[in-house]
Structure 1
Amino acid sequence: MHQMSAAPSRSVNASAPAATRIYAVGDIHGRADLLSEITARIDDDIRRRPVAHTVEIYLGDYIDRGPHSRTVMDLLAVRLVANRAVCLRGNHEAVMEGFLQDPAILQYWQQLGGMQTLASYGVELRNGTETANDLHRRFLDAFPREHELVMQCLRNQFSCGDFLFVHAGIRPDVPLDDQDPNDLIWIRDEFLDCTRNHERFVVHGHTPVPHPDIRSNRINIDTAAWRTGTLTCIAIEGSTILFL
């Protein structure tokens, strides 16, 4: 168990639906070992503290950088089916979707840790002469049908009670229904610097922080799991955010 530097629980000015506990998990980035620990902790928490309804949400960036992207996708496929988990699209998934469509995106994906993802699917550079087209073809062959289905299930945003779950954030002062999907998975400063209340209290990742960052209008739970070894999961019940 890792020690959180943040308080074990915090009260916020928002509320989950009655008799409902929401679990939200930050950016995983290929750390299947940490994801396995977190899902075990969620299951254990539900056993110890039964509640009528549970909602399990993953905030995106499942792949890249860490070593076990393929296994993370396997684990998420199970949670989607068994727990009806909500999986949001992160910018890294969007870039991988781009590469699945167009080999030319490889160079950009490499800068984001895409080679680690390809390696986890057994697609490694064999020699210096392989082209983006070669890697694209081999990745399409190696990419399982279950993972295609996970990608088809990805959402850009999800609301529950007074809480909104997105990967990166929202553009302030734009109604939730009118948000640009690119903002939801890429935005940083305009959202992070905004101190006004939004339509809902926003739970997000995308921008790494040393420990969960709770503000009056949002909480960031991307604790850079791939390099810190800390994958953050919160449990929201009523107006209380508990660190699992």
Structure 2
Amino acid sequence: MRLYAIGDIHGHLDLLKAAHERIFRDGGRDAPIAHVGDLIDRGPDSRGVVDHLMRGQRAGRPWIVTRGNHDRFLPAFLRDADWIDPGLSSGQHWVDHPGLGAAATLQSYGIDPDQPRPALLAEARRAVPASHADFLAALPLWHLHPLALVVHAGIRPGVDLQRQVEDDLVWIRGPFLESGADFGPLVVHGHTALEAPRLYSNRLNLDGGAAYGRPLTAVVIEPGAVHLLTNEGRVPLEAARG
């Protein structure tokens, strides 16, 4: 039994396709692949990423895609131009926040981001396929596999999985990252960017910082072992402390 997993993509279609190819070389083209969310924002081709994953699922690929915090922004904006994600400590709107990457996402759909919000909304509603918005809005918040619990940001310690709230699943950091609790299954997540993926005793952080010019992480998870997939093959990941 094995599960392949990919970290935060952030609009990098070329990196996503390359990560898929590394997985295909290791496990074949029908390998089960979990994606931990944050498909869009910051990178140059959010539209291409969404389209690629949608086409793969339609073709019957066993691809799991969970919802990241960034995946909420575009469909929410299309529904309500004034919506501000409660998880943002800055209280800024998606299109106004300099670090969220809205402009890159909008440009990938051929939209000029530098226009008043009413005009921006009208153009976005014309340019973004409804199927893309619906896909992002309907992504599951977690996926439980025999080898791992796949979720974007993490889980709140001490709370049953069925009672976890969305804001925690896509935004949580401190209480989850600092916990040494045994969560049962290995929690495979992203959201908190590191210089490289890191395995801990109770979790595996796959966000290696592709949004910031670093590689997009792909791993294979097997009973008792996790390996990073590189162009040269497998590299074992050893559990770190803390």
What TM-score, normalized to structure 2? 0.84
Matched residue of 1:243: which SS? Answer: strand
Taking only aligned residues, the RMSD between alpha carbons, in angstroms, comes to: 1.8
- The aligned residue for residue 89 of structure 2 is none
Matched residue of 2:168: which SS? Answer: helix
Matched residue of 1:169: which SS? Answer: coil
Q: Residue by residue, what CA displacement relative to the aligned partner does 1:200-220 show, whole Å, maximum 9, x if unpaired?
A: 210000000111121111010
Amino acid at match of 2:5: A
Point out 4+ residue stretches in structure 1 off by more than 6 angstroms: none
- The aligned residue for residue 178 of structure 2 is 193
Matched residue of 2:154: which SS? Answer: coil
Amino acid at match of 1:88: T
Is the aligned partner of 1:31 residue 2:9? no
Does the 8 Å contact 1:205/1:222 carry over to 2?
yes
Q: In 2 relative to 1, CA 162–85 (structure 1 residues): closer, same or farther, beyond 3 Å?
A: closer
Q: In 2 relative to 1, CA 170–139 (structure 1 residues): closer, same or farther, beyond 3 Å?
A: same
Give 1:105 deviation, angstroms. Answer: 3.6
Could you tell me the percent identity over the aligned residues? 39
Q: Please, which of 89, 101, 104 is the counterpart of residue 67 of structure 2?
A: 89
Q: Please, which of 48, 51, 61 is the counterpart of residue 71 of structure 1?
A: 48
Q: In 2 relative to 1, CA 84–150 (structure 1 residues): closer, same or farther, beyond 3 Å?
A: farther
Q: Distance in 1 between matches of 2:104 and 2:4?
A: 28
- The aligned residue for residue 59 of structure 1 is 36
Q: Please, which of 120, 125, 128 is the counterpart of residue 135 of structure 1?
A: 120
- The aligned residue for residue 122 of structure 1 is 110
Amino acid at match of 1:85: W
Aligned 1:90-239 pairs, distance under 5 A: 90-105=68-83, 108-110=93-95, 111=97, 112-125=100-113, 130-239=115-224
Amino acid at match of 2:20: T
- Higher relative contact order at CA 8 Å, sep ≥6: structure 1 or structure 2? 1
Aligned pair count reads 218
Q: Distance in 2 between matches of 1:220 and 1:154?
A: 20
Worse-superposed segment, 152-161 or 178-187: 152-161
- The aligned residue for residue 234 of structure 2 is none
Q: Distance in 2 between matches of 1:58 and 1:122?
A: 26
Pick the structure with more helix per residue. 1
Q: Residue by residue, what CA displacement relative to the aligned partner does 1:140-198 show, whole Å, maximum 9, x if unpaired?
A: 11112442352254110000114100000000010111101110000000100001111
What TM-score, normalized to structure 1? 0.84
Give 1:63 deviation, angstroms. Answer: 0.6
Q: Distance in 2 between matches of 1:184 and 1:144?
A: 26
Q: In 2 relative to 1, CA 149–21 (structure 1 residues): closer, same or farther, beyond 3 Å?
A: farther
